[in-house]
Structure 1
Amino acid sequence: MATQLLIYGQVEAVNKKRHQNWSIKAENNYDFAKKVNSVPLMAAEFPHAAQDYSIVFAGEGKQLLPVVVMGIKQDENLYVNDQGQWVAKYIPAFVRRYPFVFASTDEEKTLTLCLDESYAGCNQQDKGERLFDSDGEQTQYLEKVLSFLQDYQNHYQRTQAFCNKLVELDLFEDMGAKFTLPTGEERTLTGFKVINKEKLKALPQEALSALFATDGLELVYLHLHSLRNLNKMLQSEQPIQSRADEHGSVH
C-alpha cells in the first residue's frame, strides 16, 4: 500500500466496522513531526511557505517533488519546539492532514482513507470528533477530512505536472549548502535539488512564456527567493501558530 509515511506509524484503512466508536481529539502538539527534516509541499502552498521555509526539491524523475527544509540533521525539525508547538506562521498541508492519509494499491487509481492509529488523539471515549455516528454513517467531521484529502490529492497531481515540466527543461542541479552552527560546528545539507539560475536564464523565450502562462515561473521565483530562509531557520525564533481549522484548505 503506497503512502508517504514520513510521520505515520500504525496506518489502517478507515471503516465503520473497525472505527465505529472512534473519535479524534485534535491536540496542539506536533511531536509526531519532530524527527523529519523535510516534508512534501504542494505548488499551491508556495506563496505562504516561502515566507517561513526554504523550498527545494527531492526525488528523481517523476517521483521528484517540492519539499520544505525544516532541519539540517536527518532527524531534526527546527520548527517544532520542546513543547511540541509549531513555530512558524504556516504549517504545510502534509502535516495538517495528519493523522489521516490516502493510500493506494493500484498506482493511485483507487484511494483509501487511512488513519494512523498510534496518534495520541485517537480514542474510544467520545473525546473530540467522532468518525461515524450511531447509525454507522460518516460524520460531518469525517466528510471534511475526506474533502481536505481529496483537495490535497488534486494539488498533488498538479504539483507533479509542474515538476515534470522542470525536469523536462533540465533546470535542476544538486544542492550543497554549508552551515556553521553557533557552536562553531560545520554541517552540510545535501540530498536536495534546486533550480540553476543560469539554466533558467538560458531558456528559449517560448519555454519561458509557457512557464509564465501556467504560473510556473512565479513558482520558480518563489523557490529561489525562499532559499534565503536557510539561515533564518537556524538563527531566528518565529511566532507560534495554533492548529485551528486544520482541515480547512490545502493552501
Structure 2
Amino acid sequence: MDEKEFDVATQLLIYGQVEAVNKKRHLDWSIKAENNYDFAKKVNSVPLMAAEFPHAAQDYSIVFAGEGEQLLPVVVMGIKQDENLYVNDQGQWVAKYIPAFVRRYPFVFASTDEGKTLTLCLDESYSGCNKENRGERLFDGDGEQTQYLSKVLEFLQDYQNHYQRTQAFCSKLVELDLFEDMGAKFTLPSGEERTLTGFKVINKEKLKAIKQEDLSQLFASDGLELIYLHLHSLRNLNKMLQNSGATSEQNVSDEPEDSAEIH
C-alpha cells in the first residue's frame, strides 16, 4: 500500500478578489455578516496568535510551521490538503472557538514594504458584500468611515500587534533550540495510509535541559504557559483523526491529563 504525505504547512488562501478599501470604490458598500464558513472549507491549517492558545488548545492541535522569521503557530484542521474538519456540510463551524485569522475575514491587512505600511483590504468575492444596505455600511453618506469600519480597523490592528508578539515568542523558542520535526501516521477508512508532516513541536527533553535563567525568562513572559498549552493540545490531533474516521498508528502526545482583544 502506497503511503502518501500531506504537508500541514501548505496554506490555501481563503481570500479571492482582494481590493484596498477606499471611499471612492466602496462608498455604497455594505457587509452582511453570515454564519457560514464555506470560504474556509478547504483550508487545512491557519496561523494562530499566542494570545489565542488558552482558547484554541481546548479544540485544536497547536503546532508550529514555517522556517526562520516565517515560523508561526498554526492550528491543524484537516488531514488532507483541501479539508477542514471543523466546517460541516452546512458551512457551520463545529468548534466553540474560531481562530482570529478566520474571524477577521473578509478583511485583511496588506503591505508592500514588509509591514511598514499596512492597507486595509476586502475580499470583494465574499457573499456578504452588497450595495443594497444589507448589514453594515463601510462609509456614511459624507464618505466618512462608519463605526463598523472603525471597529474592523481596530480588530486588525490588534491582530497585527499580537502577530508581532507571537513572532517574538517563536524567535525565542528557535533561539533556545526547543523544536523538533514531527509527523503522525494514520490510515483512512479506505485503507489508504497517509503521513501528516511538515510541522514542528516542542521537544520536552530539550525543554527540561534549558538553563535556569532561560526557564525563568520563559516563565516571566508567560512563554512557559504557552509551551504547556501547546503540548497539552496535541492530544486533539488524535480526536480529529477519530472524528474523520481515520485511525492513528501512533499517539502523537503522551502529555498527562492535568498538564498545565484577540482571544
What's the TM-score, normalizing by structure 1? 0.92
Give 2:5's aligned residue: none
CA contact (8 A) 2:110 2:121 kept: yes
CA contact (8 A) 2:33 2:135 kept: yes
Q: Distance in 2 between matches of 1:223 and 1:114?
A: 31
Give 2:222's aligned residue: 215
Q: After superposition, what is the alpha-carbon deviation per residue over 1:181-238, rounded to whole angstroms, capped at 9, x for unaligned? A: 344432211111111111111111111111111000000000000000001113349x
Which consecutive aligned stretches of 4+ in structure 1 deviate over 2 angstroms post-superposition? 180-186, 234-237
1:149 paired to 2:144:
no
Give 1:140's aligned residue: 147
Q: After superposition, what is the alpha-carbon deviation per residue over 1:126-147, rounded to whole angstroms, capped at 9, x for unaligned? A: 1110000000000010001000
User: SS of the counterpart of 1:190?
Assistant: strand
Residue 5 (structure 1) shift: 7.3
Give 1:36's aligned residue: 43
- Coordinate RMSD, CA, aligned: 1.3
Q: How many percent of aligned residue pairs carry the same amino acid?
A: 90
1:59 paired to 2:59:
no
Q: Which residue of 164, 174, 185 maps to 1:178?
A: 185
Q: Which runs of 5+ in 2 are unaligned?
A: 1-10, 245-260
Give 1:108's aligned residue: 115
Q: Distance in 2 between matches of 1:175 and 1:119?
A: 36
Equivalent residue runs for 1:90-129 within 5 Å? 90-129=97-136
User: SS of the counterpart of 2:102?
Assistant: helix
Q: Which residue of 169, 172, 178 maps to 2:176?
A: 169
Give 1:78's aligned residue: 85
Q: Distance in 1 between matches of 2:142 and 2:98?
A: 35
Q: Which runs of 5+ in 1 are unaligned?
A: 238-248
Q: Distance in 2 between matches of 1:235 and 1:86?
A: 18
Give 1:246's aligned residue: none
Give 1:18's aligned residue: 25
Give 1:240's aligned residue: none
CA contact (8 A) 2:12 2:42 kept: no
How many aligned residue pairs are there? 237
